[in-house]
Chains A and B, each alone.
Chain A
């Protein structure tokens, strides 16, 4: 039992039964739990494996929720030192407000996607055990990336994620998918190696890989620090498909089967983004962060505007959604110039912080819903050409509704999580006197409105007389709707700008 654990119990701020649960080991559990599913998947038949995987997904959600509740009630981050060894030698896991929210987000979306994946049209199109193994690895990698505290463990988490995500792209083994997977893998590797090089330089500078310790030791005036941070950021930007490094994203996310696309576009991409934010809002010296923030925000602007424009120009639904992912992720980087990397935050800064992370969460729900809905629409119509979507509203009404509701959050219309996030970012930008960020947020909303509504308008058209539809069960359509509605419900969570999301902020 570690000291932090003991102090958590001692201050008595935990509640009820949960107080008896040690928070630390739960952090390790939430990482290991999904991997336990590999055993039944390898040993038992696909049906048992599928069932086991879903059970573990549910358990994962429960554990993540308990962690989040504990962090919320105690108001302090939960920390676990593996084997009781403290940094710099040991490895720490730490769940602060943001991490625990992301844990819950990924577990919840993961459950939704999993339930969707169990509803194949028939057993033939239901997913093979490989899918479940890979997606469990993704879940584990995500949790590790959200909790790990040292740069090398994070490197391993990112690689684990990539290795699980790449085969998801080419699950069906078509040449185009394999090609997309190869580009994805190679570009992600390039990114990881640059990140690793940067991490190595940080180690050379500070003698530690722990983010907290390194952050205290980094010297702002050393050229090496700057180069190290630049290498890590560029590597992570490549993995996060930040403009202009998004070449791998559209083919990979659009080419994968719908359940895999949803996983990749809503969750996997969030790990490198989260890490980028950790670096600039936790590791980098304040002075350097202040100077690099505009560069990253400009790239985010490029993503929002250029990828939004390209999303408008797409003719295939899945490609449109993939480009929209590349565009939406740009918003996260707009928050960097609005938040300082250390010290207590003012209210406008806290607004930007909360808005940025709320955007990450609501995008995850909305985007998973949209990819699943698009997959069902394509199954029903036999294609996903946007111009010929007429009749989709009759053939798959719940899916079109899910797409539209998810799109509502993307466009930042009320009531939705996306709306609240957008208003928070706008308010922060205006109050801090950075009007160009407000303009970009608004312009991005316009573009999102354009590409979402274009699809909805086409889907509401009546079908051509010759069109034939495949009947899709309501059960298969329902999951997307549930996730889309969750993105709306996020708009009703009373978020105090200085509240939960700031717990444990460095």
Chain B
């Protein structure tokens, strides 16, 4: 078993774990973390694809490396946006609860 195969299997394993987490977890933060696991798995698989591309004749295939970095940036932005919404949501819910309670007190 070569290193690249181990790498591919690890990537596939991460993809599976990530998918399971994304779909089955209820908590939004858990889901966001699972997305990062899933994304990580996909990037590793991409790395494996680069090795294969290199095997096909290129001395080395730089394209996937470059794209993985872009992908990581995209994943990071997604995580930031999702987390921001989670925080805002929690605040908005607290506020609405408080409003409802004060409305009840007045009523």
Residues of A whose CB lies within 8 Å of any CB of B are 88-89, 152, 155-156, 159, 163, 166-167, 170, 173-175, 178-179, 181-182, 185-186, 189-190, 193, 196-197, 200-201, 203-204, 207, 209
Residues of B76-92 contacting chain A, CB below 8 A: 77-78, 81-82, 85-86, 88-89, 92
Distance, CA A170 to CA B87, complexed state (A)? 13
Would you give the shortest CB distance from B53 to chain A, in whole angstroms? 5
Are A203 and B49 neighbours in the complex by a CB distance under 8 Å? yes
Are A156 and B70 neighbours in the complex by a CB distance under 8 Å? yes
Are B89 and A175 neighbours in the complex by a CB distance under 8 Å? yes
Say whether, besides A175-B92, A182-B89, A193 and B39 are in contact (CB < 8 Å): yes
Would you give the shortest CB distance from A251 to chain B, in whole angstroms? 13
Are B67 and A189 neighbours in the complex by a CB distance under 8 Å? no
Would you give the shortest CB distance from B72 to chain A, in whole angstroms? 12
Are A207 and B53 neighbours in the complex by a CB distance under 8 Å? yes
Q: Which residues of A contact B35 (CB under 8 A)?
A: 186, 189-190, 193
Residue of A nearest to B44 (CB): A200
Residue of B nearest to A178 (CB): B89
Q: Which residues of A contact B74 (CB under 8 A)?
A: 155-156, 159
Q: Which residues of B contact A163 (CB under 8 A)?
A: 77-78, 81
Distance, CA A178 to CA B95, complexed state (A)? 13
* A contact patch SS: helix
Would you give the shortest CB distance from A244 to chain B, in whole angstroms? 14
Residue of A nearest to B86 (CB): A182
Number of A-B contacts (CB under 8 A): 86
Say whether, besides A193-B39, A197-B42, A173 and B78 are in contact (CB < 8 Å): no
Distance, CA A98 to CA B17, complexed state (A)? 39
Residues of B33-59 contacting chain A, CB below 8 A: 35, 38-39, 42, 45-46, 48-49, 52-53, 56
Are B70 and A152 neighbours in the complex by a CB distance under 8 Å? yes
B63 within 8 Å of A (CB atoms): yes
| 21 pairs, A vs B, C-beta closer than 8 Å | A89-B63, A152-B67, A152-B70, A155-B74, A159-B77, A166-B85, A170-B88, A175-B89, A175-B92, A175-B96, A178-B92, A182-B85, A186-B28, A189-B82, A190-B23, A193-B39, A193-B42, A196-B71, A200-B42, A200-B64, A207-B61
Distance, CA A166 to CA B84, complexed state (A)? 12
Distance, CA A182 to CA B92, complexed state (A)? 13
Are A186 and B31 neighbours in the complex by a CB distance under 8 Å? yes
Would you give the shortest CB distance from A272 to chain B, in whole angstroms? 16
Question: Which of B15, B23, B67, B82 interacts with A185 by CB under 8 Å?
Answer: B82
Say whether, besides A175-B89, A186-B31, A190-B22, A197 and B81 are in contact (CB < 8 Å): no
Q: Which residues of B contact A181 (CB under 8 A)?
A: 85
Question: Which of A167, A185, A200 interacts with B78 by CB under 8 Å?
Answer: A185
B104 within 8 Å of A (CB atoms): no
Are A178 and B88 neighbours in the complex by a CB distance under 8 Å? yes
Q: What's the interface size class on B, roughly? A: 35 or more
* B contact patch SS: helix
Q: Which residues of B contact A174 (CB under 8 A)?
A: 92
Residue of B nearest to A162 (CB): B78
Are A204 and B88 neighbours in the complex by a CB distance under 8 Å? no
Would you give the shortest CB distance from A321 to chain B, in whole angstroms? 24
Are B89 and A186 neighbours in the complex by a CB distance under 8 Å? no
Would you give the shortest CB distance from A390 to chain B, in whole angstroms? 30
Since A181-B85, A193-B42 are in contact, a sample of 14 more A-B pairs with Cβ atoms closer than 8 Å, ordered by chain A residue number, is A156-B70, A163-B78, A166-B85, A173-B92, A174-B92, A175-B89, A185-B78, A185-B81, A193-B35, A193-B38, A197-B42, A200-B46, A203-B63, A204-B52
Distance, CA A89 to CA B18, complexed state (A)? 31
Would you give the shortest CB distance from A183 to chain B, in whole angstroms? 9
Are B89 and A179 neighbours in the complex by a CB distance under 8 Å? yes
Are A197 and B63 neighbours in the complex by a CB distance under 8 Å? no
Q: Which residues of B contact A155 (CB under 8 A)?
A: 71, 74
Are A178 and B49 neighbours in the complex by a CB distance under 8 Å? no
Q: Which residues of B contact A88 (CB under 8 A)?
A: 63
Distance, CA A204 to CA B49, complexed state (A)? 5
Q: Which 7 A-B pairs have the closest CB atoms?
A: A204-B49, A175-B92, A178-B89, A200-B46, A182-B85, A197-B42, A159-B74
Would you give the shortest CB distance from A167 to chain B, in whole angstroms? 8
Are A173 and B88 neighbours in the complex by a CB distance under 8 Å? yes
Q: Which residues of B contact A203 (CB under 8 A)?
A: 46, 49, 53, 63-64
Q: Which residues of A contact B38 (CB under 8 A)?
A: 193
Are A207 and B77 neighbours in the complex by a CB distance under 8 Å? no
Q: Which residues of A contact B53 (CB under 8 A)?
A: 203-204, 207
Q: Which residues of A contact B32 (CB under 8 A)?
A: 186
Which one of B53, B64, B85, B86 has the greatest number of beta carbons of chain A within 10 Å? B85
